Amino acid sequence: MNPPDYQRLFDAAPTPYLVLDPALTIVAVNEAYLAATTTRRDMLVGVPIFSAFPANPEDRGADGVRNLRRSLEIVFATGASDTMAPQRYDIQVGESFEERWWSPINTPILAEDGTITHIIHRVLDVTDLVRSGRGPVAGALARLSGLEADLLARAREVQDMNLRLRLTNDELAATGEALRQQQRAKDRFIATLSHELRNPLAAIQAAVELLALDVPVGHAALAVLARQTGALIRMTDDLLDATRALTGRLALDRQRVDLRSIVSETAADVAAEFAAGRRALRLTLPSSPVPVSGDRIRLAQLLSNLVSNALKYTAPGATVVVSVATAGHEAVLDVRDDGIGFDPAVADSLFEVFTRAAPSGMTAVSGLGLGLAIVRSISELHDGTVTAHSDGPGTGAEFRVRLPLASAPEPDSPHETVQGARTPLRFLVIEDNADLAATYRALLERRGDTVTVAATGKTGLAAVAASRYDVVLCDLGLPDIGGLQIARHLRGHLDADRMKLVAVSGFIRDSDRQQVVDAGFDAYLPKPMTLSALDRVLTQWSADVP
């Protein structure tokens, strides 16, 4: 039996059919379609459908072209047939257009992979039905036709809305994934940048501290080194913390702390900078503790950013006043200066990233414009607020932070103060940066401590197996064994229960801090690690170390 001649069957079909390719070009048409539209095959095949059947220019309200185009778009978007409501679509006959009404169905032809290869456009000419809307029967038919058109139109509206929602959801999903990929790439970049910057900065910082032991106090070159190293460290920290704050990933380690002690410690840390800049820093502190539930490191960073900001925008001879007080259920931290001030209209914008308040004509100040944005983020994370006030340029500025007071007092820890002279300790430094490791060793040995250095995780583990140590300073990013793995191994060591483990790293995400604790580390110190930061950790352990 011979296979059927499909071309002949197509041409002989009594229903009008037209076939479109994905470019909406007519590729086939049967005889019934030619008769219904009073056209010839050579007028249609190879011609875009909307060129072959343009809109009637004399009918300003004509919407046939728009409706057909929308139906075809739905077919391409859904891969399913679309039935159109009966509608007017005039056709050109000679030099004029003739009114016609059609009931179209557009059906996709799919390839094996699901892509659309063609669309079959089937139409029924319902012009006579629409025109014969006279008499009871014709009127009923017309009303039924109108009802059908109304229902189909409403169904089309719902279909269009669902399609738009589907396309919007797809676009949102694609955009969201692209943003997540960009965020992951940015995180990797910042992690690498932070690590690469902090390692040399840590070595420089430690070397400056080592030089300070031999160079007379107030030596100009050493003061420059210390000041500029501190500036680089702050800019690196600000870049990292601003990124965390903007993405909601700046985490806190909240404890009950006395805001007065944080102010005193921070003031001591920046005293040299103020002296070098010939500015005065004055503290006004209450006699009673001001307890808040906060992250000591982040609150110190908040205050450091505020006083550093005051240092930048004041002239030599200026005075910066830091005061702490209580008001109701809040602790109030004020930083006031008699510097350049700012226009009150820009007060709120000062806390935006990369924003500065320097008036035109003023010499550019150092920094990235991130410090105050970080201040606001830290304040809000502590359920507090920060505001800026100035009466105008040249009148100075005041920044006020309000934080909730801690609700109930807690007993003081027995390890808050050092009892007597510090006992020399046995340190193991596991650090692959040779300059940094050597500087740590020199600093600690100058204090009377005993120090062993291991450049890899394997040699560090071997050192612990051979000797006993009080404190292990371990870099998290070692080339052979990760710091977390080392901590887990050491915590399984028989004699490691009395040994303190300190994680040291140039970059750690706030979300990773719990992993550091779970691995067995007792503390985490960011690079560049200072002796004062290490001492604060050792002070808390002083009663536990033999």
Q: Using one digit for the tens of pLDDT, what is the confidence trace for 152-198?
A: 566 666 666 766 777 777 788 888 888 878 767 766 666 666 666 76
CATH superfamily to which 426-541 belongs: Response regulator (3.40.50.2300)
Helix 135-212 vs helix 64-78: crossing angle, to nearest 10: 50
Question: Which percentage of the chain shows pLDDT scores above 70?
Answer: 78
Q: How confident is the model at residue 135 (pLDDT cuts 50, 70, 90)?
A: very low
H/E element holding 486? helix 483-491
Question: pLDDT-derived band of residue 411, with 50, 70 and 90 as boundaries?
Answer: very low
The rounded mean pLDDT for the chain is 82
Mean predicted confidence (pLDDT) in 512-540: 80
Q: What percent of the chain has pLDDT over 90?
A: 37
Q: Per CATH, which fold does 6-131 belong to?
A: Beta-Lactamase (3.30.450)
pLDDT at 417 over 50: no
Q: Does domain 215-404 have CATH number 3.40.50.720?
A: no
Inform me whether the pLDDT recorded for 247 exceeds 70: no
In 3D space, the residue among 7, 30, 21 whose CA is nearest the CA of residue 119 turns out to be 21
Mean predicted confidence (pLDDT) in 443-469? 90
Global confidence as pTM: 0.47
The predicted-structure confidence for 384-396, as pLDDT tens digits, reads as follows 999 999 999 999 9
Domain residue extents for the chain = 6-131, 215-404, 426-541
> Which two tokens mark 408?
């109930």
Q: Report pLDDT digits (tens) over 488-510.
A: 988 876 566 678 899 988 766 65
Is it the case that residue 17 has pLDDT exceeding 90? yes
Q: Dihedral of the CA atoms 181, 187, 192, 195 (nearest 10)?
A: -170
Q: What is the pLDDT of residue 143?
A: 54
Helices and strands counted in the chain (H then E): 16, 20
Asked whether residue 545 carries a pLDDT value surpassing 50, the answer given is: no
- Side-chain-side CA neighbours of 170 within 13 Å: the count stands at 8
Query: Residue 533 above 90 pLDDT?
Result: no
Distance CA 431, CA 202 (A): 12
Where is pLDDT greater, at 421 or 150? Answer: 150
**Range 17-35 average pLDDT:** 95
Which of the two residues, 342 and 541, has the higher pLDDT score?
342
